[in-house]
Amino acid sequence: MGRYLFVSLPLTGHVNPLAAVSRELVARGHDVLWAGSESYLRPLLGPETAIAPIPLRAHRGQADRGMAAAKSRWDGYIVPHAKSTLPGIERAVAAFRPDVLLVDQHAVAGALAAHRAGLPWASMATTTMELTRPYRALPRVEAWIQQRMAAMWTAGGLAGEPPHDLRFSPHLLVGFTGEALTGPLEWPENAVLVGPALAPRAPDTDFPWHWLDPARRHVLVTVGTLSLDLAREFHARVVEALRPLGDSVQAIVVAPDGTVPDPPTHILVRPRVPVLELMPRLDAVVSHGGLNTVCEALAHGVPLVVAPIKGDQPINAAQVVAVGAGRRVRFASVRPEPLRADLLAVLDDPSYRAAARRVGESFAAAGGAPAAADHLETLLTGLTERMGGAQT
């Protein structure tokens, strides 16, 4: 049996797919440990998963959009997070003696800890951000990111330059998407795309299922965790887009209490919703285009209207449009009338749903969490064999 150490980030979209893989490995009898904030991870991982606690530190806020968001993602988040978590990860490595580390592409401390301990590790691509190399046309931005990683390498007490891009393990790269969505790209040779890794989440017993009227069509509106001002403004426009559709559409808007004033009766506003349980009953999703939401919708054959904000979201939006599984709108400025037109097109034209289904079927064939676990077991077997079975 193998010993697997998970290193992720305190961000739901990053943790959820790895939580599904972790559950699969545990079910197969492997030893699994997570290094990270227990207060953050526990609700997502459930009571059984072992966690080596690393206190959560507040980092500088990230800019909301554009290249400013790219800059603050590194200087305000990835770099300081690596610095503050490396000691805790190293303690977990020393105590748990893992065979393999599973490292989110943006949790660079996990890569540093693996190098320091001389252990094999696998990169986990939980977003599309690094997979598609969006800055390949901006060499000075790429160079700036490489400088950040070199500085982290040095600050982690490692000599010389990083031997490779620290977002890409030389051993294995698992991506939680599929070529049916991404189209053909130049993947690293050790990359495997397993599709979305979905696992049942804690049930939401409060959700008013009786509110859903089977005679109407259902739309989920979810734009992730945004700054409140941005969300408030967008939701106001979404409500206006939906207002005249009450005869034929019900919508569930994910938003903090009180941020959507006086919604009409066919719009339900909830701070949290059981997304995976809702999916089979949905006709469309309006989303910011986070990879989790996009893949969860497509896995259920549900088409999307995507209003991307930052990071990998514009990339995911472009992919959804390219495969015909939805439309994209400009988050910053889309007005209610065109938004309504796009939403009705996605609801009324069966080609969107058909395209979403095709992607969903290929995701199912890609295997999800069990396929990821297979690759992680193969990685371990390969390493053990190369060492002549001398592992103790």
Q: Which residues in this chain contact another protein in the complex, by CB under 8 A? A: 65-68, 70-71, 134, 137-141, 144, 308, 314, 318, 330-333
Choose between 139 and 184: whose C-beta lies nearer to another protein. Answer: 139
Residue (139 or 214) nearer to another protein, CB: 139
CB 317 → another protein: shortest distance, Å? Answer: 9
Specify whether the CB–CB gap between 8 and 184 falls below 8 A. Answer: no
Q: Looking at beta carbons only, is 329 or 379 nearer to another protein?
A: 329
Question: CB 366 → another protein: shortest distance, Å?
Answer: 26
Looking at the Cβ atoms of 66 and 87, the one nearer to another protein is 66
Beta carbon of residue 104, minimum distance to another protein (angstroms, whole number):
23
| HEC-encoded secondary structure of the chain | CCEEEEECCCCHHHHHHHHHHHHHHHHCCCEEEEEECHHHHHHHHCCCCEEEECCCCCCCCCCCCHHHHHHHHHHHHHHHHHHHHHHHHHHHHHHHCCCEEEEECCCHHHHHHHHHHCCCEEEEECCCCCCCCCCCCCHHHHHHHHHHHHHHHHHCCCCCCCCCCCCCCCCEEEECCCHHHHCCCCCCCCEEECCCCCCCCCCCCCCCHHHCCCCCEEEEEECCCCCHHHHHHHHHHHHHHHHHHCCCEEEEEECCCCCCCCCCCCEEEECCCCHHHHHHHCCEEEECCCHHHHHHHHHCCCCEEECCCCCCHHHHHHHHHHCCCEEECCCCCCCHHHHHHHHHHHHHCHHHHHHHHHHHHHHHHHCHHHHHHHHHHHHHHHHHHHCCCCCC
Report in angstroms how near the CB of residue 144 gets to another protein at its nearest: 5
Q: How far is the CB of 160 from another protein (least distance, A)?
A: 25
Non-local (6+) Cβ contacts of 43 within 8 A are 202
The residue among 37 and 62 lying less far from another protein, judged by its C-beta, is: 62
Rounded CA-CA distance 10/19 in Å is 12
Of 133 and 386, which has the nearer Cβ to another protein? 133
**What residues does 123 pair with on adjacent strands?**
103, 173
Quick one: 134 or 263, whose CB is closer to another protein? Answer: 134
* Most distant CA atoms of the chain, gap in Å: 70
Question: Residue 320 Cβ, how far from another protein at the closest point, in Å?
Answer: 13
Least distance between another protein and beta carbon 290 (Å):
16
Q: Which is nearer to another protein, 87 or 183 (CB)?
A: 183
Minimum distance of another protein from residue 69's CB (angstroms): 9
Which of 94/138 has CB closer to another protein?
A: 138
- Minimum gap (Å) between residue 277 Cβ and another protein: 33
